[in-house]
Structure 1
């Protein structure tokens, strides 16, 4: 199940910046930021993924099946919480 877009986190994971991705997409940084913070179309998501060099599925976070599992917002690693 899709939870949210994690475009900024994916850029960080691949060591690229908003400026670099915008340049590769041939758009301004402001336009890219608007897409990232808004509701980008499938076409835009595919272009962003191509500019980052990742699969489009990496731009989405999945909800963990286990309620005792959390996902690190910086790296995407899942952790199981135990008492």
Structure 2
């Protein structure tokens, strides 16, 4: 997720203000921010906010060797052999092994 809304809040502007700065509609900006923006669009947003593209990206998570299971919220670790939480009554749990 991009940090555009967070940066706007820090700068005391709204997403509508940012859209005006960029010369686009709010809907176009929202679609870019909530979708998969191109590097060019990220550059435009960064310039309008006077930040770097890197500043727009989420901070890296401390634990980069795992993800959170969407079914149970447990950690799935990838340091070596995948280690998964015990999935009770979850259809498709065989794919986690």
With the shorter chain as reference, the TM-score category is: 0.5 to 0.7
CA RMSD of aligned residues (A): 1.7
Q: Distance in 1 between matches of 2:63 and 2:38?
A: 30
The yes-or-no answer on 1:63 pairing with 2:60 is yes
Aligned to 2:49: 52
Number of matched pairs: 64
Gaps of 5+ in 2: 65-97
TM-score normalised per structure 2:
0.58
The structure having more radius of gyration, on CA atoms, is: 2
**Superposed displacement of residue 65, structure 1:** 2.3
Aligned to 2:36: 39
Gaps of 5+ in 1: 68-83
Q: 2:4 aligns with which of 7, 14, 18?
A: 7
Runs of 4+ residues deviating >3 angstroms:
none
TM-score normalised per structure 1:
0.67
Q: State the Cα deviation string for residues 19-72 of structure 1 (Å, max 9, x = none).
A: 1111111111111111111111001011011111212111111223269xxxxx
Q: 2:18 aligns with which of 21, 29, 54?
A: 21
